[in-house]
Amino acid sequence: MSTSLSGARRARELAELASGREVDLLVVGLGVTGAGVALDAAARGLRVAALDAHDLGFGTSRWSSKLVHGGLRYLAAGHLGLAYECAAERHILLRRTAPHLVSALPFVLPLTPLVSPARTALSRVGFAAADALRAVAGTPAAALPRARRIGAAEVLRLLPAVRRAGLRGGLVQWDGQLVDDVRLVVALARTAAGRGARILTRCRVEAVDGGTVAVLDTLTASRHAIRARAVVNATGVWAQHLDPTVRLRPSRGTHLVLRAEALGHPAAALVVPVPGERNRFVFAVPQPDGLVYLGLTDEAADGPVPDVPEPTTAEIRFLLETLNATLGAALTDADVVGAFAGLRPLLASRAGGSGGSGGSAGADGSAGAAGADGSAGRAVRTADLSRRHLVHTSAAGITTVVGGKLTTYRRMARDAVDAAVAHAGLPAAACRTAWLPLVGAAPASVLARVPAPARLVARYGAEAPAVLALAQGDPELLVPIADGTEVTGAELLWAVRHEGALDVDDLLDRRTRIGLRPVDRARALAAARGVFARQEP
Ligand SMILES: Cc1cc2nc3c(=O)[nH]c(=O)nc-3n(C[C@H](O)[C@H](O)[C@H](O)COP(=O)(O)OP(=O)(O)OC[C@H]3O[C@@H](n4cnc5c(N)ncnc54)[C@H](O)[C@@H]3O)c2cc1C
């Protein structure tokens, strides 16, 4: 079956489901977790539908730091199992399932007067342990080089904006970086579609009642009842709407968007310790298209969950001040071309009410017991709450999967499908996703020979020539659509024809990330509208 998503396919498949065709498993939410669940279930031979109220990657998944972590932070906190899980998942993404979307990035901690000799020694131990974990996970040093100490000249070559005075050298460590988080979600959804999953955006699940799911098509304002034998709730920070027994304590993480030239075009991520904190850092991470993301904060975000979280002025100030302590020349607000915030779906406490329905916690069942419950009146920083995931089947028969990391989405999906299959008694094969390449994936040696610009290969992998081919007879489609971006018309057209983009917001805010810089977004709007105007009927 085709991996292409389009408005026409969406309409056809929604009509089929609305007319009474039952699916084995219906996934609510198409962030990285829900898209991962859709692929896992479809690859096991189940009939799958996956719905999102908005778009692919609309929620937290598009606000991440875009890193595929090897678990260094968990090592530092003593969570060895979780750290290994991250390193193993990083290996699978980097080497097998998405080598086109994930690359190795050096992270440099400059040894400035801010970094004491004791902290230097501790960091070296941590980096060595992370290296050992990389090796145990099977990732060769050729793919992710070993951590090492470098001299001051090398630090300044990689990070030209770092202050020279008092620089004693640096520690460099390598980790995985996604070209963009939404590209991973889109690739998962399309790979699932290729295995028959119905991927339906602009479909809000309003209620689940036994085997009937009430759905609002927000494009037409029509309501439908879809029949499903099992339902997985992968709605992240919105999970409580479908399963009120799940307790979340979201935390907001903010990033700033800087032009790379403001930091002298860094060739590595800059790691800056947060003063007064033992295990907390701010990162300035180089991105494609001449940008750097500076993040991130960790602020409790209690109260109603907004569709799109907003960074606060205090967070912007904190990030700039922390970065500036390490730079030769301080950055100002004028250097900030954008800012974005996301809510981490952190577990507050274990869901109590499985109501004897066979409520199941997955491999990480202990996750709910983070021991951090705001209602108990204890002041707990969200940075200390568990980053593990929870899989829980409610009395109503809904399997919720929540928490975790983008890096570990595949395990979350596996555990959720295992639980849903067991609960509903579905005939399903074992999980296969560890060996299932996503659309566009190919071994590094093959990707190196794909006849297309490197920028496109990093986003589309082996499909890059097909994106280029859309411009045949119309070379204008290969020109950047506006000042400030390298995105071409061919990429927008590809997004509409093959990636399920339904409007200009999908194009500018998710299939591409021009929307992260408001000035560039305004410039690109006309081109995005033009793509829909030229779209074939
Ligand atoms: C600032 C920040 C930085 C991070 N950085 C990293 C990182 O670098 N690496 C890493 O591994 N992890 C990172 N994480 C964690 C990671 O981003 C999240 O764990 C992950 O993206 C959560 O994905 P999800 O699919 O569970 O939720 P979401 O992405 O929020 O998806 C939920 C979806 O459900 C949909 N939905 C909600 N209600 C309904 C409904 N009723 N009907 C239909 N659809 C509905 C929403 O529209 C949304 O698309 C970061 C998190 C934050 C906040």
Tens of pLDDT, residues 372-414: 222 222 333 444 445 678 999 998 899 999 999 999 999 999 9
Q: Quick check: 21 pLDDT over 80? A: yes
Return the pLDDT at 347: 86
Which residue of 63, 388, 406, 412 sits with most ligand 1 atoms within 8 Å of its CB, as the best mutation to test the pocket? 406
Strand 222-233 to strand 389-393: parallel, antiparallel, or no bridges (unpaired)? unpaired
* Average confidence (pLDDT) over 132-145: 96
SS (H, E, C) 415-454: HHHHHHHHHHCCCCCCCCHHHCCCCCCCCHHHHCCCCCCH
Tokens of 357: 């329905």
- DSSP states of 147-179 as a string? PEEE-HHHHHHH-TTB--TT---EEEEEEEEES
Q: Would the CB of 404 count as within 6 Å of ligand 1?
A: yes
Cα of 355 to ligand 1 centre, how many Å? Answer: 27
What pLDDT is recorded for position 279?
Answer: 78
**pLDDT of res. 536:** 56
d(CA 64, CA 180): 9
Asked if residue 32 has its Cβ within 6 Å of ligand 1, the reply is yes
Predicted confidence at residue 353, as pLDDT, reads 33
pLDDT tens figures, 40-53: 999 999 999 999 99
CB of 344 within 6 A of ligand 1: the answer is: yes
What tens digit of pLDDT does each residue of 147-163 get?
999 999 999 999 999 99
Residue 172 clears pLDDT 60, i.e. is over it: yes
Place of tokens 């700033």: 256
What is the rounded average pLDDT of the residues 170-199? Answer: 98
383 lines ligand 1 (CB under 6 A): no
- pLDDT at residue 101 tops 70: yes
Higher pLDDT, 246 or 194: 194
pLDDT at 320: 98
What the block records as the tokens of 537 is 């009927």
At residue 297 the predicted structure's pLDDT band, cuts being 50, 70 and 90, is: very high
Per the prediction, the chain carries an average pLDDT of: 91
CA of 58 to the centre of ligand 1 (A): 8
Closest to 126 (Cα-Cα) out of 85, 76, 68: 76
**Mean pLDDT lowest for which of 96-100, 349-353, 530-534?**
349-353
Pocket test for ligand 1, best of 30, 37, 55, 64 (most atoms within 8 A of CB): 64
Q: What is the mean pLDDT of residues 74-78?
A: 81
Task: Quote the pLDDT of residue 392.
Answer: 92
Ligand 1 atom closest to Cα of residue 58 = 49
Residue 351, pLDDT > 80, answer: no
**Could you tell me the pLDDT band of residue 250, with boundaries at 50, 70 and 90?**
very high
Taking CA 16 as the corner, what is the angle to CA 14 and CA 18, rounded to the nearest 5 degrees? Answer: 65
Does 65 score more than 60 pLDDT? yes
CA angle in degrees (0–180, nearest 5) for 12-17-19: 95
* pTM given for the model: 0.94
Alpha-helical segments (H) within 66-116: 72-76, 80-92
pLDDT, tens digit (0-9, with 9 covering 90-100), for 439-476: 999 999 999 999 999 999 999 999 999 999 999 999 99
Ligand 1 atom 41: residue of nearest CA: 205
Reported as a pLDDT band with limits 50, 70 and 90, residue 280 is: confident
Which position has the higher pLDDT, 254 or 534?
254
Tell me how far the alpha carbon of residue 313 lies from the centroid of ligand 1, in angstroms.
23
pLDDT score, position 354: 31
The pLDDT score that the predictor gives to residue 75 is: 82
Classify residue 134 by its DSSP letter: H
Query: What was the pLDDT predicted at 41?
Result: 98
Whether the bond into 133 is cis, omega within 30 of 0: no
- In the chain, the percentage of residues whose pLDDT exceeds 90 is 84
pLDDT at 265: 98
Instruction: Give me the pLDDT at residue 386, please.
Output: 57
Question: Ligand 1 centre from 325 Cα, in Å?
Answer: 31
User: How do residues 479-531 score in pLDDT, each as one tens digit?
Assistant: 999 998 999 999 999 999 999 999 999 999 999 999 999 999 999 999 999 99
Question: Cα(238) to centroid of ligand 1, in Å?
Answer: 10
What's the rounded mean pLDDT across residues 92-119? 96
Cβ–ligand 1 contact at 59 (below 6 Å): yes
421's CB contacts (< 8 A; 6+ apart) are 25, 44, 46, 230, 428
pLDDT score at 78: 82
Ligand 1 centre to CA of 198 (Å) is: 20
Q: What is the model's pLDDT at position 349?
A: 59
- Which atom of ligand 1 is nearest the CA belonging to 403? 19
Residue type, 528: A
Cα of 30 to ligand 1 centre, how many Å? 9
Closest CA to 88 of 442, 411, 444, 458: 411
Residue 76: its pLDDT value, please?
Answer: 79
Give the 3-state secondary structure of residue 17: helix
Query: Residue 325: pLDDT above 70?
Result: yes
In the predicted model, what is the mean pLDDT of residues 295-305? 92
Angle, helices 489-498/518-534, rounded to nearest 10 degrees: 60
State if residue 31 touches ligand 1 by the CB under 6 angstroms criterion. yes
For the residues 233-245, what does the mean pLDDT come to?
Answer: 95
Q: What is the mean pLDDT of residues 213-227?
A: 98
Helix 80-92 and helix 117-136: axis angle, to 10°? Answer: 60
Which one of 10, 30, 37, 60 would you pick to mutate in the ligand 1 pocket, going by the greatest count of ligand atoms within 8 A of its CB?
A: 60
The whole-number average pLDDT for the span 74-102 is 93
